[in-house]
Structure 1
Amino acid sequence: MDRVLSGMRPTGRLHLGHYHGVLRNWVKLQETHDCFFFVADWHALTTVYEEREIISRNVWDMVVDWLACGVNPNLSTLFIQSRVMEHAELHLLLSMITPLGWLERVPTYKDQIQQLRERDLATYGFLGYPVLQSADILVYGASGVPVGEDQVSHVELTRELARRFNYLFGREPDFEARAETAIDKMGKKAARLYRELRRRYQEAGDLEALAEGQALIEDQHNLTMADAERLQGYLEGGGRTVLTEPEALLTPAARMPGLDGRKMSKSYGNAISLRESDEAIEQKIRTMPTDPARVRRSDPGEPEKCPVFDLHRVYSSEDTQDWVQQGCRSAGIGCIDCKRPLIEAVQAEVAPIRERAEALEADPEQVRQIISSGCEHAQEVARSTMQEVRSAIGLSYR
């Protein structure tokens, strides 16, 4: 099963934008992938390092919302970044080989400098956070990272760093001898076939032989992961793959509209939280701005100019949307009439999430135990990777 890794900065209680943009995808992915989901508390420090007391509170609020939305600790590994120190170690080692130019050309670097001008971001942590992000991914050998289009450049940087690391450190001094030893472990028949497939690929460029050789290695359950990686590299004519290059898993562009038509965001004050009461939901939607040209009930309106219709696109059936368009343009329905099915739909979506969150808040020890178990499992995986990394670099002293 392919491994997927994703994280979120602890911004506190989440809203419908997080649910539709990220969490529903997580819930779907955990059914088909080996998922690692983490609280990116170190990443939060890159921009709000002076708000330490807020970060601590936000961590638990966010985890409660994850669980309430259906992220299942029996199907996924949930953990806190700063509790797995291997993230920091790999970040340090990767920083030794990362050219400054690679970081300065990351598109989001200059964008965030402009957007967060009121903060002091002239720090190494802010410049180097893509390296930390790369370490987060590479330390678990994740093959996929679910991201939006604006984050694809970060996954590409991760791929470049993995490639650079493997080029510099993947070729062990005794690589060929270790690879030949690994071949002998396959058994006579499989070893003979492997050597033949390797010869066909390297001498004649036979891609079918390469694919057969890769499948043969995957079928050898008696090999260690390190030996399997050596044989992959030996087959291809390179070195051992120490760090896995991940792929960007583009998530559907789920732009959740806020109450004012802009993207939903707490900073805009236009969000509906996942724990909003029915009364608050009704009040927020009833007071949403509508088509400014529709001053009186008898005035016709234009749904395409109305923020309320943006939400109907998310929550309403085609029949309801047709009813809204016809009724609005003919003044057959008023704005409150238009908002009523939307209020009911949002209340129906939020109610079970809110109830599960309340139950989890009443049992904080359960939430902490889930995270504690997840941290232990994450650390086991990360520790195994770092043993290989240290050995490849030459830091495994005996």
Structure 2
Amino acid sequence: MSLVDSERRVLSGMRPSGRLHLGHYHGVLKSWVKLQHEYECFFCIVDWHALTINYQEVGQISQHVMDIAVDWLAAGVSPSSATLFIQSQVPEHAELHLLLSMISPLSWLERVPSYKEQQDRLPGRELATYGFLGYPLLQAADILLYRAGVVPVGADQLAHIEFAREVARRFNHLYGREPGFELKAEAAIRKLGKKTATLYNNLRRAYQQQGDVEALETARALLKEQQSITIGDKERLFGYLEGGGKVLLPEPRPLLSDAPRLPGLDGGKMSKSGGNAIFLRDSSAEVEEKIRRMPTDPARVHRDDPGNPARCPVWPLHEIYTGAETRVALQQGCTSAGIGCLDCKGPLIEAVQKELQPLQARAADYQANPELLRSILAEGAERARNEARETLTEVRLALGLNYR
């Protein structure tokens, strides 16, 4: 019986596309560093996903994987607090993807927004492949394999999490009706104690007979608090609430990032492909050179022209990196033409360099010890495989693929 507490488990990942930049750091990695101390975290380098678009350009994948691992560790993601691993080193991802493909309607995949959006965005790529069509299902398998209840994402990934929820819901509906389910669920209710059991039954009745969604949420919260029953019994009772079966694959929920959107050097979204990124391992000289050549308020043609920070691509970076007192002084200097644009960029250059220095020192240590890096990823893969095997044991049993 599963003892996984899905609500305390996080799964997240990144495609290996090269070194990471400040957008990744502020948008994802800082959040991961915090989450690893609050949840049981699995962080996956999804190298198979890299093949869904770049299957013709595979020469750099292994180097990109190592680069991303170094940047994760340098940013503070810790192998003692989280499980870091490479997707392809856990072949159970592929097996669950295959098994889930048997029940996933083709129309579900075709309606995922990114399927058409990416084809329009990358007209030169041949994306009429099963791998590209099916990558949301592979992503769903990545999540469901670890029965992760929490997936940190940006708003652009919400459709993918909803797809994973639909797949889990369909799987549970088809295969969660274990023999004697109702009897086992009723036995689990009795284990709650008389008072809690009565409350659970009243809430279940209110939802099933009257459609009271608030009663459903209250009942779910009640179950989460229970310490007297096993996780397996909780899974049955979660399913029994809605008139279904045992929850074999818990439905994940998105955890939306509240991190500020980090602009690139041109004011647009920071990205490697946009050529507007400051990378975590850029030298101090590279950081200075990149920021110094950033465009500023187009109205400041001459040094003595007053400017407006609201029109300047540099200003959003100041709002992230420099303190309120410094920003007030810079704003006054800009609007009065008391300072030039290079004067304004100076404090920003210093702040970015200061933030990156300790991170780069840690990165240098890992780069100098590739065996340690490989060992961390191998140990992470083994821990991940242990969890994945447990899930697949239950999935195979539900599908009738148990020959022992």
TM, length-normalised to structure 2: 0.90
Matched, 1:144 2:159: no
The residue number in structure 2 matching 1:99 is 105
Give, in whole Å, the separation in 2 of the partners of 1:204 and 1:9: 45
The residue number in structure 1 matching 2:387 is 381
Counterpart residue type for residue 43 of structure 2: F
Give, in whole Å, the separation in 2 of the partners of 1:256 and 1:319: 21
Q: Which has the larger displacement, 60-69 or 86-95?
A: 86-95
Q: Which has the larger displacement, 209-218 or 250-259?
A: 209-218
- Deviation, 1:253, is 4.9
The residue number in structure 2 matching 1:390 is 396
Matched, 1:350 2:360: no
The residue number in structure 2 matching 1:154 is 160
8 Å Cα contact 2:168-2:250 kept in structure 1 = yes
8 Å Cα contact 2:45-2:87 kept in structure 1 = yes
The residue number in structure 1 matching 2:174 is 168
Gapped regions of structure 2 (runs ≥ 5)? 1-6
| Equivalent residue runs for 1:84-95 within 5 Å | 84-95=90-101
| Equivalent residue runs for 1:6-21 within 5 Å | 6-21=12-27
Indicate the SS of the match to 2:12.
strand
The residue number in structure 2 matching 1:220 is 228
- Deviation, 1:266, is 1.3
- Deviation, 1:80, is 0.7
- Deviation, 1:178, is 4.9
Write the deviation string for residues 158-180 of structure 1: whole angstroms up to 9, x where unpaired.
Answer: 11111111011110244345556
Matched, 1:24 2:30: yes
Counterpart residue type for residue 274 of structure 1: L
Percentage of identical aligned residues = 59
Write the deviation string for residues 229-262 of structure 1: whole angstroms up to 9, x where unpaired.
Answer: 2344346543111000011101015321111111
Give, in whole Å, the separation in 2 of the partners of 1:16 and 1:77: 23
- Deviation, 1:195, is 6.5
Alpha-carbon distance change, 212 to 292 in structure 1, aligned in 2, over 3 angstroms: closer
Give, in whole Å, the separation in 2 of the partners of 1:212 and 1:147: 23
Give, in whole Å, the separation in 2 of the partners of 1:313 and 1:204: 49
Indicate the SS of the match to 1:267.
coil
8 Å Cα contact 1:38-1:80 kept in structure 2 = yes
| Equivalent residue runs for 1:61-76 within 5 Å | 61-76=67-82
Counterpart residue type for residue 301 of structure 1: G
- Deviation, 1:293, is 2.6
Alpha-carbon distance change, 50 to 329 in structure 1, aligned in 2, over 3 angstroms: same
Q: Which has the larger displacement, 361-370 or 322-331?
A: 322-331
1:230 alignment partner, one of 232, 236, 261: 236
- Deviation, 1:134, is 0.5
- Deviation, 1:395, is 1.1
Alpha-carbon distance change, 93 to 333 in structure 1, aligned in 2, over 3 angstroms: same
Give, in whole Å, the separation in 2 of the partners of 1:208 and 1:181: 20
- Deviation, 1:363, is 0.7
TM, length-normalised to structure 1: 0.91
8 Å Cα contact 2:200-2:219 kept in structure 1 = no
Indicate the SS of the match to 1:356.
helix
Matched, 1:300 2:306: yes
Q: Which has the larger displacement, 233-242 or 103-112?
A: 233-242
Cα RMSD (Å) of the superposition?
2.5
Alpha-carbon distance change, 302 to 389 in structure 1, aligned in 2, over 3 angstroms: same
Give, in whole Å, the separation in 2 of the partners of 1:131 and 1:146: 18
Counterpart residue type for residue 111 of structure 1: E
Gapped regions of structure 1 (runs ≥ 5)? none
Alpha-carbon distance change, 170 to 214 in structure 1, aligned in 2, over 3 angstroms: farther
Give, in whole Å, the separation in 1 of the partners of 2:291 and 2:122: 30
The residue number in structure 1 matching 2:63 is 57
Give, in whole Å, the separation in 1 of the partners of 2:245 and 2:155: 32
8 Å Cα contact 2:216-2:241 kept in structure 1 = no
Alpha-carbon distance change, 352 to 204 in structure 1, aligned in 2, over 3 angstroms: closer
Give, in whole Å, the separation in 2 of the partners of 1:284 and 1:194: 62
Matched, 1:118 2:124: yes
